Amino acid sequence: MQDAHELLHAENIEKYYGVADLRTQVLRDVSLSLRGGECVALLGPSGSGKSTLLQTLGLLQDADDGTLEIGGVPVIRDGKRCEGFEDNRGKNIGFVFQKPHLIPFLSVLDNVLVSVVLDHAPTSAERERAGRLLAQLGMDALGGRMPSELSGGQQQRVAIARALFPEPRVLLADEPTAALDAVRGSEVMHLFRELAERTQIAVLVVTHDTRTLNAFHRVLKMADGELVEPTP
């Protein structure tokens, strides 16, 4: 770990899909760092490997080679999972996807609490914390509603609150505004930046929307499985 503020540090990540003759390389020697408090965009043509990179950094897919540290703790070394890999995924990584994927028969508040609801009846402290997260995202009055009673942008805010509930150090979002109109999309991107700055988490957002790039501290670009300049 070179920098005390680095929350994620990836070096020489390589990944292949398929076997034998069909084996193709999708990540080539990818190295990057994310520091606490920064909101970074990841751009690149369709098929360039953005989702694969995000899922590999988020420990949803294995790498074939390379090293990954999260919060200074090694989670992948030489492409192999280190001890605590699964714990790290649950505790340190939050994910937001293109669609909110809320559970339709749970209230907004219970959707934020879903990781708890599946395990035990939420405590009052947990309910209060979920309510505070919704309030920080401008959704204070909406905890009792059902997802179908929200707009697309509001639903995506619930998905962001759900991702933040376990207090991850790194938030990864894959085209989180693709289903939103330009205004709502821009609001969500600025929300990510504000969150990063206020809570000092690191946020990495895959997007095709160049109109919202002013919300980011840095922009990374991928082409054919590689990070291209500007270099991280």
Ligand X SMILES: Nc1ncnc2c1ncn2[C@@H]1O[C@H](COP(=O)(O)OP(=O)(O)OP(=O)(O)O)[C@@H](O)[C@H]1O
Residues whose CB falls within 8 Å of the CB of residue 38, separated by 6 or more in sequence, listed in order: 196, 202, 203, 217, 218
Tokens standing for residue 31: 């190295």
Which residue number, 51 or 155, has a Cβ lying nearer to Mg ion?
51
CA–CA–CA angle 224, 230, 232 (5° rounding): 90
Helix (H) or strand (E) run with residue 125 in it? helix 124-136
Query: What binding mask, one character per residue, do residues 44-73 give for Mg ion by CB under 5 A, x or -?
Result: -------x----------------------
Rounded to whole angstroms, the Cα distance separating 128 from 192 reads 22
Residues between 9 and 28 with contacts to ligand X, criterion CB under 6 A: 17-18, 26
Q: Which does 49 bind (CB under 5 to 8 A by kind): Mg ion, ligand X, none?
A: ligand X
44 binds, among ligand X, Mg ion, none (CB under 5 to 8 A by kind): ligand X
Closer to ligand X by CB, 25 or 186: give it.
25
- CA 188 – CA 201 distance, rounded (Å): 16
Min. distance of Cβ 121 from ligand X in angstroms?
Answer: 38
Q: What is the DSSP letter of 121?
A: P
Q: Are strands 93-96 and 170-174 parallel, antiparallel or unpaired?
A: parallel
When the beta carbons of 111 and 177 are compared against ligand X, the nearer one is: 177
Selected from 44, 71, 122, 168, the binder of ligand X by CB under 6 A is: 44
Residue 166 partner contact from Mg ion, ligand X, none using kind-dependent CB cut-offs of 5 to 8 Å: none
- The reply on whether position 56 binds ligand X by CB under 6 A is no
Residue 148 binding: pick among ligand X, Mg ion, none (C-beta 5-8 Å cut-off by kind): none
Residue 6 C-beta-side C-alpha neighbours within 13 Å? 16
